[in-house]
Chain A
């Protein structure tokens, strides 16, 4: 009973509240800002490739037919479909806010262990986050254009989640492990999901030209890395400035 009361007291303690509001505030600021930039970059660089692929997915264009198909069809521009693109912006901002909350929480743990967190070190956090959440699962489950053949989505989601978790732990071990055993465990965690292999389709049936599929994967990775670099840097920056503000208030 006493212990429960003490735990409750700790939960409501000013230090806990301050820490939580610092994580939330820096996560929300960084996630919204990086998410908005990510969304605009995606709409400009990735969305046209996706719309191009959808012309093949829907059968409006067919390649390997009797006649050559133009590689430059008329595609709707940015915000030609305001609802669709608007929803994409909102969901990208939400997704990056989710990432930022995880980053800020882990930064709070790292800072307590004596590691410096700011906009510069945040850049490394962002790149590590990109590897964990985007590049590691994408190495075997390549970012896919609409219409590609793929295994059951539930099975792929399980493989994605396990791979992200393993790569996340690996990134932490590489950054903070500080000894050979940590690095070896990290290497194993990074490789094993790909040695086991991602769920693959029974047969290939995708109607989209390989040029479009390859460009889509490259663009998705490139924009993802840029957005994550910004996200890490922003989260580190806001983490530091929110800490100063909280320190000044106390």
Chain B
């Protein structure tokens, strides 16, 4: 397997081999039919995403999701290949005391609003994002409502 070649239709098995071979930090957790689940540290996110976009032809970023696990947070990326329908799920852990992660908007413009939404609801800062402003909530909000520490009425 040549890790520097460009694959238009990489199969699940190929992706599961290439990604850990190219980046030792990437761990493929499990694979299903047309699905690859992987985790990686946040330092490698941008270069891995650039590689997935350029060399594996994943042209579409479906979502950027924030999750609050209380002791740490996480961002999850779903990437789609338009030639064979394979999806990669990348999960990145973010420590609760330093909530910074690289933005993937320079790679996929479609991630722009998802990252803005994740920032305003969870407080995860996306470095190098072109316009990290509040989108759904009013600009005067001073809290991040989707954190677990923000209790809804009647939830206790």
- A and B bind: no
